[in-house]
Amino acid sequence: MRRLKIHFVVAFVIYTYLMPGISFAQPIAFANKRIVFLGNSITLAGTYVNDVETYLRVQYPGRKLEIINVGLPSETVSGLSEPGHADGKFPRPNLHERLAKVLEQTKPDLVFACYGMKNCIYMPFDTSRFQKFKEGINWLHDQVVETGARLIYLTPPDYDEVKGKSIGYTNVLDRYADWILSRRCLSNWEVIDIHYPMKKYLQVHRKIDSTFALAPDGVHPSEAGHWIIAKQILLYLGWKKIAQSPCIIESLRSIPDAIALINLVSKRQYLLRDAWLSATKHLHPGLPVGLPLIEAQAKADELLQEIVAIIQKK
């Protein structure tokens, strides 16, 4: 019990004082109707996307929002792939191959893009690899902006060397995150930092519990890690009241059956995610084949009615 109390106090301190780059503006008039999330396996897992959608639907119950997750495992913007990736079965997917199809079919108003973890291909820092990453990010920026969509970058998540196998990779990702953060001032890009909030949260918790981890394998965040990502997005969008919420459930106290709501949003998200990935014809082997998009959207509409019904009970 004493350890739980200590964890709670530490979490409160982190959320209150140690989260850099957050916005404390009033919530924006959220006019975006179609929001697309691009990224790799962390985005594909979707927990942070589900958390963001759940929170926004509660805040805007009458708004016609469509949040589309098209994260693809192992994907890079650099076009690089290490020898023996996937036991030599296939190279890492390259966003250059599918971005045009994704943008054309989803027609987003807003795009969130989270790349970096896989672009360094788990190897030591190298200037040529870094240059490929920067070129890929600049290309992504040009492609999205040309459509008229708003683009917001997420820095790469933190890498935990205690749980992972790539020594020195944390510092590599620090440099990639720093470069993306520099674009805020140098290029006037919109950037949300998730890298350093995750890093600080891990460091503080590990001081009191050496076994603590945000990512059991060093790469893929737990639910707590995904909530840090979701929270930084929501804070950036102006929802300051979630600054001290330690989890998505705590941020939904006005909803009597918040767990059922989160489960329904997640079920709907995964249904549409698989359908959109199949419709946009990715090249990653072995992923589930989604329903035809029209069929998936019809089922999603039914689930949305259940979601709205739960929200209206508050």
pLDDT per position as a tens digit, 74-87: 999 998 887 877 78
Question: What CATH number does the domain containing 241 carry?
Answer: 3.40.50.1110
Which ranges of the chain would DSSP assign to H, the alpha helix? Answer: 2-17, 41-45, 47-59, 95-106, 127-146, 169-186, 195-208, 223-236, 258-279, 293-312
State the number of CA atoms in the 13 A half-sphere of 218 facing the CB: 16
Higher pLDDT, 9 or 235: 235
**296 is a domain residue:** yes
**8 is a domain residue:** no
**Token pair recorded at residue 262:** 């989160």
User: Could you read off the pLDDT of 82-104 as tens digits, one per residue?
Assistant: 787 778 787 899 999 999 999 99
**2 is a domain residue:** no
* pLDDT recorded at residue 30: 60
What's the whole-number mean pLDDT along residues 272-295? Answer: 96
Which of 170, 90, 81 shows the shortest CA–CA distance to 118?
A: 81
User: Could you read off the pLDDT of 132-158 as tens digits, one per residue?
Assistant: 999 999 999 999 999 999 999 999 999
**12 is a domain residue:** no
| Confidence band for 13, pLDDT divided at 50, 70 and 90 | very low
**184 is a domain residue:** yes
Q: Enumerate residues 6+ apart whose C-beta is below 8 A from 189.
A: 141, 151, 153, 183
Residue 9 has pLDDT above 60, yes or no: no
Residue 24 has pLDDT above 80, yes or no: no
Number of domains in the chain: 1
**3 is a domain residue:** no
Measured CA to CA, the distance from residue 152 to residue 134 in angstroms comes to 16
User: Could you read off the pLDDT of 56-66 as tens digits, one per residue?
Assistant: 999 998 888 99
Task: Name the residue range of residue 167's domain.
Answer: 30-312
User: Could you read off the pLDDT of 156-203 as tens digits, one per residue?
Assistant: 999 999 999 888 899 999 999 999 999 999 999 999 999 999 999 999
| Confidence band for 116, pLDDT divided at 50, 70 and 90 | very high
**243 is a domain residue:** yes
For the chain, the average pLDDT equals 89
